[in-house]
């Protein structure tokens, strides 16, 4: 997994690319979220446009990030999710945990 930061006013959009599988991805993602919270970014959008696959460990990574932001008074939104990944969210019922939007613009609008 690779992460590119794309600040949009006071909201940070993290553009994710590659498979989210756990292992080093966990440390990378957890570190990024911790740094963003520490620097005052508490509303974060994950752009999944470049993510072709996520496994159960990857879902755990997202839940950890979601809880870290929630405990800091922030929110996590997810957008631009491919159909294959979205089906994993539905099978695991995580669409009830995460707010998922078709586009980044819609996710941004939900935070304003």
Q: What is the pLDDT of residue 61?
A: 93
Please give the chain's pLDDT, 112 residues, in tens: 999 999 998 899 999 999 999 889 999 999 999 999 999 999 999 999 999 999 999 999 999 999 999 999 999 999 999 999 999 999 999 988 999 999 999 999 999 8
Contacts of 2 (CB under 8 A, 6+ apart): 16, 17, 18, 50
3-state helix, strand, coil in the chain (%, to 5): 45, 30, 25
Q: What is the pLDDT of residue 112?
A: 83
Q: Which helix (H) or strand (E) holds 8?
A: strand 2-8
Compute how many other C-beta atoms are within 10 angstroms of the C-beta atom of residue 40. Answer: 10
Q: What is the pLDDT of residue 8?
A: 92
Closest CA to 89 of 42, 44, 53: 53
> Cα–chain-centroid distance for residue 60?
11
Indicate the pTM of the whole model: 0.94
Q: What is the pLDDT of residue 22?
A: 84
Instruction: Break the chain into its structural domains and give their ranges.
Output: 2-110
Q: Among 1.10.8.60, 3.30.750.24, 1.10.540.10, 3.40.640.10, what is the CATH number of 2-110?
A: 3.30.750.24
């Amino acid at each position: 997994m690779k992460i590119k930061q794309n600040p949009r006013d006071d909201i940070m959009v993290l553009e994710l690319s590659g498979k989210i599988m756990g292992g080093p991805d966990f440390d990378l993602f957890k570190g990024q979220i911790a740094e963003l919270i520490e620097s005052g970014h508490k509303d974060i959008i994950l752009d999944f446009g470049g993510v072709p696959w996520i496994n159960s460990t990857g879902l755990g990574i997202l839940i950890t990030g979601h809880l870290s932001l929630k405990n800091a008074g922030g929110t996590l939104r997810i957008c631009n999710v491919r159909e294959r990944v979205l089906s994993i969210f539905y099978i695991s019922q995580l669409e009830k945990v995460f707010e998922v939007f078709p586009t980044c613009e819609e996710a941004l609008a939900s935070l304003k």
